[in-house]
Structure 1
């Protein structure tokens, strides 16, 4: 099960992910990211502190937006990954394409 929450901060949005992202609910993540882009979001922090699992379909959602993020000058930083989830990002090389930080504070500082 996946729970997604958007939290508007001063100059950025926190996308909070809780639970598991798999093929059946990765469309929900896709819709949440698309909605933020439609609203003109330029700074997105993805809070994965409570994300217990992500499948290749979930990672594919992030990958599918990389070009659009660049084109629209959108900064995205993922933070709080559990070690087992972080390893999936590393194995697929996404840690080289998306900035990943340990804490929300580190993620904010990476956007300055």
Structure 2
């Protein structure tokens, strides 16, 4: 089960992810990303404090936007990953491609 909540803080949009992202619901994350891009925002933060699990399909959603974000100068920051979820990002080398922060404060200040 996955819930995605959208919040706005100053000029940044925050996606709050809770639950698990797998092949069956990764399309929800994809749609949420598309919705934020459509707003014209230049700053997207992803709150993963409540994210318990992410499959390769979920990681694929993030990977599929990296080039678009670079071209459109959209800043993507992920924060509050659990150790288990962070390890998955690390194994695939996403920690080198996406800015990952310990908490919301660090992500907003970066």
* Whole-angstrom CA distance in 2 between matches of 1:14 and 1:98: 15
* Whole-angstrom CA distance in 1 between matches of 2:38 and 2:49: 25
Aligned residue for 1:73, secondary structure, equals: coil
* Whole-angstrom CA distance in 2 between matches of 1:62 and 1:7: 19
Total equivalences in the alignment: 110
Using the TM superposition, give the Cα deviation of residue 8 of structure 1 relative to its aligned residue in structure 2, in angstroms: 1.0
After superposition, the C-alpha distances for 1:42-70 in whole angstroms (9 at most, x for unaligned) are 10110000000000000000000000000
1:77 aligns with 2:77: yes
For the aligned residues, what is the CA RMSD?
0.5
**Aligned residue number for residue 15 of structure 1:** 15
**Aligned residue number for residue 35 of structure 1:** 35
Using the TM superposition, give the Cα deviation of residue 41 of structure 1 relative to its aligned residue in structure 2, in angstroms: 1.3
After superposition, the C-alpha distances for 1:72-105 in whole angstroms (9 at most, x for unaligned) are 1000100000000000000000000000000101
**Aligned residue number for residue 63 of structure 1:** 63
**Aligned residue number for residue 101 of structure 2:** 101
* Whole-angstrom CA distance in 2 between matches of 1:108 and 1:28: 24
* Unmatched tracts of structure 1, length 5 or more: none
* Whole-angstrom CA distance in 1 between matches of 2:37 and 2:27: 15
Using the TM superposition, give the Cα deviation of residue 9 of structure 1 relative to its aligned residue in structure 2, in angstroms: 1.2
After superposition, the C-alpha distances for 1:24-52 in whole angstroms (9 at most, x for unaligned) are 00000000000000111110110000000
**Misfit runs of 4+, over 2 Å:** none
